Chains A and B, each alone.
Chain A
Amino acid sequence: MHLDVVEGPGRTDVHLCGSYDILCAAELLEVARRLAESGTDVAIQCADVTALDASCVQVLLALKRSLLGAGHQLEIRDVPSSVQELLASAGLVEPLIGDAFPPSTPQGA
């Protein structure tokens, strides 16, 4: 895992690189918390991501909800097709990449 964060006026650009799994979820969460507090829109460039597991996906989902709640946007760009395909099988592409955050589904539904 490697990531670069570039803060600009009104938008913070993040470049993710490598494999993102449970072993780096804590580190990603720390970065996500800083991004949520940045008070800017966030764009995450994922072209160099080789893997993204559920533990990291849920961090990004929580970031997205936090940003949307604060009136900002999260844009996740250029997810490699291989990663996207895997996420799609778990129904996670739309919640992650779509414009809106899906409403909560009642448990047991």
Chain B
Amino acid sequence: MGFKGDLEALILAVLADHALHGYEISKRIRTQSQEVLKYGEGQLYPALHKLEQAGFVAAEWMMQDGKPDRKVYSITPTGREELDRHRSAWTKFVSGVGSIFASNAVEEGK
């Protein structure tokens, strides 16, 4: 089983604890992955809109005094269910790949 829709999964994971705007989501993905996950940040917004239309995240415009408005995204209950599915798929993927690597290592050790 593969791990699909990784950017969407990362967005849901980042939004699991806080409601955030696009730039903050992007920053968190970068910092929390310790600059390992790099992607064109322009891909973030199409993914966010797709998640919004699918009902996995909800968006709300926040007014800011003297600053441009911000669209803040938060995860919805169905989004949490989707995140759980992603987590479980990722766990299976990691364990499957880990098992193969582990058996390779054992064979090389012999």
Are A and B subunits of one complex?
no
